[in-house]
Structure 1
Amino acid sequence: MKRMNKILYFGAALVCLLFSSCNDYLNIAPKGNKIPTTLADFEALLRDQYTIGRTPVTNALYLLNDVYLTNSQVNTPSLSRANYMWDESADRIVLNNSDEGTYYVLYGAISSCNLIVENVPTATEATDAERNEVIAYAKVIRALCYDVLVNYYADTYDAATAAEKRSVPLITSAEIDAPYTQVSIQDMYDFIIQDVKEAIEMGLPAKSMTAIHPNLGAGYALLARVYLQMQNYSEALRYANLALEQNDQLYDWNAFYEEHKTALDDPDNYDKIATPMQYDYVENYYLRLGEQSVYDSYEKNIPVERAARFEEGDARFLSRWKLKTDNNDTYYKALESGYFNHGGLTTCEVYLIKAECQARLAEGNDYSEAMNTLNAVRITRIRSEVYCPAEASTLEEALSLIRRTKDNELIFSIVPFADARRYNQEGTYARTLTKTYEGQEYSLSPTSHLWTMPFPAGALNNPGNGTIEQNVTK
């Protein structure tokens, strides 16, 4: 434990060096603290989930209205309120003075990955194969972090403009004051793909060290996600199939609901239930936390209007939320607690990527293969008394059915936000979000500037050895 604390202190120092003005103080190694030299020292960095294993995308969840804000929170001016209420007049750049979690958590993880990629080739007490395995883990994690960042702070990928538009800072060194560039969206996507493919070539294992180390299936799954974002459906389908060859298991949520039915059907029982979406979840390729990092905490509450978008008889919904009223707030209260895989990669996501690609590439209006893939997921979720196989006769119908399931399955992850942006950019299947709050109608246009999050003030005011330009006007 002492060695772990020293290593984590070293990693935290590196993050601080990269993103703050504390350089003069941290140039001196703290007395009594160990600098990592062995492979075990470096690999330990991958095991601290709080610093390297989280993906908080809170304001994307507020924008989608996937997380409930109380009336008191809505009535308090904040970045969260501006996104939740779709307030296009709000200056989110000014409001983002303190909400820096997404930026710094992910760049902190990237810093640790950079440290590993740079230094593990000379780490002691290891074989070349063992070193390559740890580097491969770090490359996949780094690529996933950049994929979230580019889909959060930059415009959506568009092949026609990706080479000209700015994305986010690309930092590949853990050295103090290492120079960096705010690269184009195309350059960032090229880097992400290269990092994952290099990890696979280096021997990313079919069975990783632990659930919090990405395995070979995770590498394929991440490539499928990225190619889908780029609207390269044939490559996304190819990598989705490769991922499913590694693991194609789906969890039986109907069985879970039956096991807890008595408590779940009791309208007055809000006792915690341990989530199955943890380390041994059969759908995991790579377990990564979302915002939550404390085991015994509940999942997020959701608004009543968001709950209505779940399919009738969805056992996953029935097992996770229940209607509750607290004074002036009525919402669906979360029932499950534990560590949730809201930031990682799962078989369910890959099935739904595959289904969309099959629909996009279908010939002759035959969407049966896409619906078969979608139904493979649905039959493990929808109660048998209401389940009917999904069918579609047009691409619009097929995509609508797939998207409904995907938005619900991957709620609290970056995926529904990234998918919405992708559909918005494509135009044909874009949606305007609507809601009613205290008798007033609100809407969010697919062309709204709110779909791109502003860089936090800390990043702009302390850019280190590079420059950052804001990607939104407010």
Structure 2
Amino acid sequence: MGMLALLSQSCGHEFLEVKSDISIGSPSTIADYQALLDNGNSVMNNNASFVLGMIGGEEFYIDDSRWLNYPSISQKNAYVWAENVYERESVGDWNSGYQRILYANMALEGLKNIEPSAVERDAWNMAQGSALFFRAWNYFQLAQLFCKPYEAVTAANELGLPLRLEPDVTIKSRRASLSETYGRMLADLEEAQLLLPDKPSVKMRPSKVACYALLARIYLQMENYELAEQYAEKTLRIQDDLIDYNALPIEASYPFPTGYGAENEEVIFFCYIPSYPMFSTAQMHVEEGLLNLYHDNDLRLSVFYATGSGGNVFFRGSYYGSIAPFVGLSTSEVLLIRAECYARRGALELALADMNRLGIHRFEHGYFGSFEGLNSEQVLQLVLEERRRELAFRGIRWEDRRRLNKDSRFATTISRTIGGRLYELTPGSNRYVWPLPDEVIELTGMQQNPR
């Protein structure tokens, strides 16, 4: 049986504990390993591990009747941050993330045994760099769900992820520290950026600019704003294009082009999740607090949102060009990372310059009034609000909320009421960290996250 077939048979199990034999039908050439990593629509760029965070976040709600009859027990429980989330259901975020890590490890293990010729060197570098990027990208996603928010003073003593660095999944898993988990991501990306081209041939492939953008995002979540700014700068030196939303076909069902980012000049790395029922045009209600953040003549209000048949407002502004949420990397995100870093170090004019550049591309022509004359607190507040507006439904709000809750100025309690019962997610709650899958705990004896 070929390796790909064997892996697809394994997807119904908790992925850390699947047994596989890499010697059966194994890839063996550089082209084979690149093909494994190019399996984008099925594995590497799809089913990204953002679902629990999006469901548990503060951007939308669903009606009581929809929740009561929702088909997935784990997603229904995640919506109210239940103590027992999964009730033995398979955890897609975990399984898909570790499946992609397994593919990356298979490529890295195989490439280690290939000494490329001079004509093969670029191809080997592309495959090696891609595998390292994919491993880091997936560990980052998983850490935002299954680990505590990063704090430098405690990270060495906090539970991280099981770090699989080899394709032999029969090796017993253990949880690394949070410091080791982030250290692995950073090391993989630092190596990958040396190997990859500045820009990719297709945006489902990693690149140097994608490494820089991801490093900027990781350092932002680590609250290392100096390095986040440095990598944002490096990103924008290579790619700083912005879409003028005035040129979009607002009358279309989905205003952004399809084609996996090929026709979207803002996309740095293309990645998405399927549209689950909660994200559908019929079920989603965008939170009024989010909608109220948009100013008059801000085109994002009409580009991102539409009214469904039931009178509900739903999100339609995915860079996928359809209902499936885009959760990849973009220049607008990196511009906002840089603006936040500028604001936090007091470079207010630079922060406002980035905000004004973005605003010109988002408002109706002639209606955007430049931001100026604001103090440091106002500029930081402005940037953080703009992150909510610009990066809505990208999977980013969950990690932002975890980070910002540590600052009393920005801490927020999220609440939902179903059938008259109030559910709340308070700042610093253990329920900002999702439990590991039930079967993983049973099979490995790893320490579970407290609820």
TM range (shorter): 0.7 to 0.9
Q: CA deviation at 1:174?
A: 0.4
- Give the alignment of 1:202-281 within 5 angstroms: 203-256=195-248, 259-260=249-250, 263=251, 271=253, 275=257, 278-281=261-264
Aligned ranges 1:100-249 → 2 under 5 Å: 100-123=91-114, 127-201=120-194, 203-249=195-241
Whole-angstrom CA distance in 1 between matches of 2:301 and 2:283? 13
How far residue 53 of structure 1 moved from its aligned partner, in angstroms, is 1.4
When residues 400 and 82 of structure 1 are mapped into structure 2, their CA distance, relative to the original with a 3 A threshold, is: farther
CA 1:459–1:217: 2 relative to 1, 3 Å: same
Give the corresponding residue for 1:345. 329
Number of the residue aligned with 1:332: 314
Q: Counterpart of 2:435 in 1: which secondary structure?
A: coil
The amino acid that maps onto 2:364 is R
Q: In 1, Cα distance between the equivalents of 2:126 and 2:241? A: 24
Instruction: State the alpha-carbon separation in 2 of the partners of residues 235 and 458 from structure 1.
Output: 38
Q: 1:173 to 1:28 in 2, by over 3 A?
A: closer
1:311 aligned to 2:299? no
| Structure 1: runs of 5+ lacking an equivalent | 265-270
Verify the 8 A CA contact 2:352 2:379 in the aligned structure 1. yes
- Rounded to whole Å, the distance in 2 between the matches of 1:212 and 1:462 is 34
Alpha-carbon spacing, 1:299–1:175, altered in 2? closer, same or farther (3 Å): farther
Name which of 420, 430, 435 aligns with 2:411.
430
Query: Cα distance, 1:97 vs. partner?
Result: 2.1
Deviation at 1:395, TM superposition (A): 3.4
Determine the C-alpha separation between the residues in 2 that align with 1:308 and 1:436: 20
1:178-226 Cα shifts (integer Å, max 9, x gaps): 344311111111111100001122x211132321111111111111111
Distance 1:46 1:22, change over 3 A: closer
Map 1:408-447 to 2 at 5 A.
408-434=389-415, 443-447=424-428
Of residues 350, 356, 374, the one that matches 2:340 is 356
Q: Corresponding residue for 2:446?
A: 468
- Aligned-partner residue type, residue 164 of structure 1: N
| Aligned partners of 1:20 and 1:462 also within 8 Å | no
Larger deviation, residues 168-177 vs 378-387 = 378-387
Match of 1:288 among 271, 275, 284: 271
Counterpart of 1:389?
370
Q: Which runs of 5+ in 2 are unaligned?
A: none
1:403 paired residue number:
384
Quick one: distance in 2 between partners of 1:340 and 1:215? 23
Partner residue, 1:80: 75
CA distance in 2: counterparts of 1:275 and 1:13, whole angstroms: 34
Name the residue aligned to 1:268: none
Q: Alpha carbon RMSD of aligned pairs, Å?
A: 3.2
**Conservation of the 8 A alpha-carbon contact between 1:140 and 1:219:** yes
Q: What is the alpha-carbon distance in structure 2 between the residues aligned to residue 300 and residue 372 of structure 1?
A: 38
Q: By how many angstroms is 1:230 displaced?
A: 1.3
**One-letter amino acid of the structure 1 residue matched with residue 265 of structure 2:** V
Hey, what does 1:37 align to over in structure 2? 28
In structure 2, what is the Cα distance between the partners aligned to 1:139 and 1:460? 27
Distance 1:154 1:138 in 2: 23
Distance in 2 (CA, whole Å) between partners of 1:447 and 1:21 is 31
Displacement, 1:135? Answer: 0.7
Whether the 8 Å CA contact 2:339–2:352 is kept in 1: the answer is yes
Q: What SS does the aligned partner of 1:183 have?
A: strand
Following TM superposition, by how much is the alpha carbon of 1:391 offset from its aligned partner in structure 2, in angstroms? Answer: 4.0
Q: Partner residue of 1:458?
A: 439
Q: How does 1:293-304 map to 2 (within 5 A)?
A: 301-304=284-287
Supply the distance in 2 between the matched residues of 1:200 and 1:20 (Cα, whole angstroms).
Answer: 28
- Between the aligned partners of 2:190 and 2:282, the Cα distance in structure 1 is 34
Query: How far apart are the structure 1 equivalents of 2:111 and 2:169?
Result: 18
Helix, strand or coil for the counterpart of 2:308? strand
**Contact 1:301/1:321, CA 8 A, preserved across alignment:** no
Count of aligned pairs: 438
Code of the aligned partner of 2:449 = N
Identity over the aligned pairs, expressed in percent? 24
Cα offset, 1:157, TM superposition:
0.4
Report the AA paired with residue 382 of structure 1.
Answer: F
- TM (norm. structure 1) is 0.82
